[in-house]
Amino acid sequence: MTMTIIADAPDSAIAAWLAERLAGALAAADGGTIAITLPGGTTPFPILAELVRGALDWRRVEVWPGDDRIVPEDHPASNVGRIRALLEPAGARIVPLAEGLTPPHFALAWLGMGTDGHVASLFPNTDPRADDPLRLRRLTPDPLPPEAPFDRLSLTIPALLDSDALLFVARGEAKRALLEAAAAGSHDLPVARLLGAARQPVTCFV
């Protein structure tokens, strides 16, 4: 695993990085489709709004949320609802998480990270494993975040690692330090378990 850290990049620069990465993946697919997974929360949507204004052929992109709250799509806490509203008009195929689904190989797995080291909805209390036999799990964070007190569906570490590249957008010095410590194996939080098993390139915008 090689990790590249890029500090203080504006949303436009991250969108440009994404456009180049996804254009390359589409070219390699030789007319076929690619799949990506995206995080929820507030960080990705201004970046995606920049990205969607470009020339990417979204009709060839299948988009999966990395995790979602178990709520209706029209609920404000729904990740897939927000992703659908932004990317479906551009032509992307949006895949809601549902128990029993098998995630594909991803051209890119974009992840956020909490200050407790969680990725997707793999919170420390869920004891995520790199050898998890499942690719998708229903989970209950403990403690439940007060702003989103819902059970979750989440891709597991093996599903996220079934990807060509990993991307983190985790701004601030505290999150940068947490990521660097995870890459060094200095703690055992979920992000460290993910990075410890990663073999693909990892890009971190901090």
**Alpha-carbon span 204 to 170, nearest angstrom:** 7
Residue 2: inside a domain: no
Residue 3: inside a domain: no
In tens digits, the chain (206 residues) has pLDDT values of 789 999 999 999 999 999 999 999 999 999 999 999 999 888 999 999 999 999 999 999 999 999 999 999 999 999 999 999 999 999 999 999 999 999 999 999 999 999 999 999 999 999 999 999 999 999 999 988 888 899 999 999 999 999 999 999 999 999 999 999 999 999 999 999 999 999 999 999 99
Which residue stretches of the chain are H helix? 11-28, 44-51, 79-87, 157-161, 173-183, 190-197
Instruction: Identify the pLDDT of residue 205.
Output: 96
Q: What is the DSSP string of 98-142?
A: -TT-----BSEEEE---TT--BTTB-GGG---TT-S-SEEEE--S
Residue 85: inside a domain: yes
Residue 136: inside a domain: yes
Instruction: Identify the pLDDT of residue 148.
Output: 85
Instruction: Identify the pLDDT of residue 162.
Output: 98
Residue 156: inside a domain: yes
Residue 201: inside a domain: no
Instruction: Give the predicted TM-score (pTM) of the model.
Output: 0.95
Instruction: Identify the pLDDT of residue 69.
Output: 96
Residue 101's domain comprises 9-26+33-193
pLDDT one-digit tens code per residue, 144-193: 888 889 999 999 999 999 999 999 999 999 999 999 999 999 999 999 99
Instruction: Identify the pLDDT of residue 1.
Output: 78
- Contacts of residues 133-138 at CB distance under 8 Å and 24 or more positions apart, as own/partner, are 135/102, 135/103, 135/159, 135/162, 136/97, 136/99, 136/101, 136/102, 136/103, 138/70, 138/99
Instruction: Identify the pLDDT of residue 86.
Output: 96
**Alpha-carbon span 202 to 5, nearest angstrom:** 9
Residue 88: inside a domain: yes
Residue 205: inside a domain: no
CATH number at 93 reads 3.40.50.1360
Instruction: Identify the pLDDT of residue 45.
Output: 96
User: What total of structural domains would you count in the chain?
Assistant: 1
